[in-house]
Amino acid sequence: MKKKGGPVRLYSMPSSGNSYKVRLLLALLGRDCALIDVEYGSPALEAAHRDGRLPLGKAPVLELPDGRLLPESNAILCWLGEGTRFWPGDAVVRADMLAWMFWEQNQHEGVIAVRAALAWYPHRAVDATPERMAALLEAGHRLLGRMEAHLAGRDWLVGDAVSLADICLYAYTHTAGSRGGFDMARFPAVTAWLDRVAALPGAVGLDA
């Protein structure tokens, strides 16, 4: 297998949890990376679109050492994490990790992140109707409840050690209360898990 060393560049939206999860893993791995900030409405984002740096039309995108562009946050996590301590050696545990990562994009992000975005970004405020926000709040509490039940009595989402699943789910869950308005006091096991991820050596916050 070709080594994954060498300089990489990350087209990253600073306020986005999807971009943050990649920055977090890079920090945990102690890997250098050139960051290109492509925040909403910025000239840099317009330039990245114009120059074809966002193949699927959104950030994050990792530019590999050979110049290829890798989109989608969880695909980037897998590329960076394979062969590290965040990649389980057991095939079943690894599949379980991927299942949680698929669930994050298919279920969790579309509720937890969307409610936060409607509340956080001025250009999304028009869609933040009381009915929609209430529906997202109810759905989000159900999803967080699923995580709560799973994490009760265990430290990490899969196996006996931290994995990419934890990095993946941490990104939007850790701001679910502050940005999304979810009642995190209802989920002590989730809150304890968030604290464990934040305490990992090398971890950085969303605004780092």
Mean pLDDT of 186-198: 98
- For residue 4, being part of any structural domain is answered with no
What local confidence, expressed as pLDDT, does residue 4 receive? 66
Per-residue pLDDT tens over the stretch 43-66: 989 999 999 999 999 999 999 999
- Please tell me whether residues 101 and 184 are part of one structural domain: yes
- For residue 203, being part of any structural domain is answered with no
The CATH number of whichever domain residue 34 belongs to comes to 3.40.30.10
Has residue 74 got a pLDDT over 60?
yes
Which of 49, 81, 113 lies at the terminal end of a domain, its last residue?
81
Instruction: Spell out the residues 6+ positions from residue 88 whose beta carbon is closer than 8 angstroms to its own.
Output: 94, 97, 158, 159, 161, 163
CB atoms within 10 A of CB 77: 27
- Please tell me whether residues 60 and 127 are part of one structural domain: no
Strand (E) or helix (H) holding 77: helix 73-81
Per-residue pLDDT tens over the stretch 119-162: 999 989 999 999 999 999 999 999 999 999 999 999 999 999 99
**What Rg value do the Cα atoms of the chain yield, rounded?**
17
- Structural domain boundaries enclosing 14: 9-81
- For residue 154, being part of any structural domain is answered with yes
Please return the burial class of 121, using the count of CB atoms within 10 Å of its CB with bins 0-12, 13-18 and 19+. Answer: middle
* Pairwise CA distance, residues 145 & 139, whole Å: 10
What local confidence, expressed as pLDDT, does residue 3 receive? 44
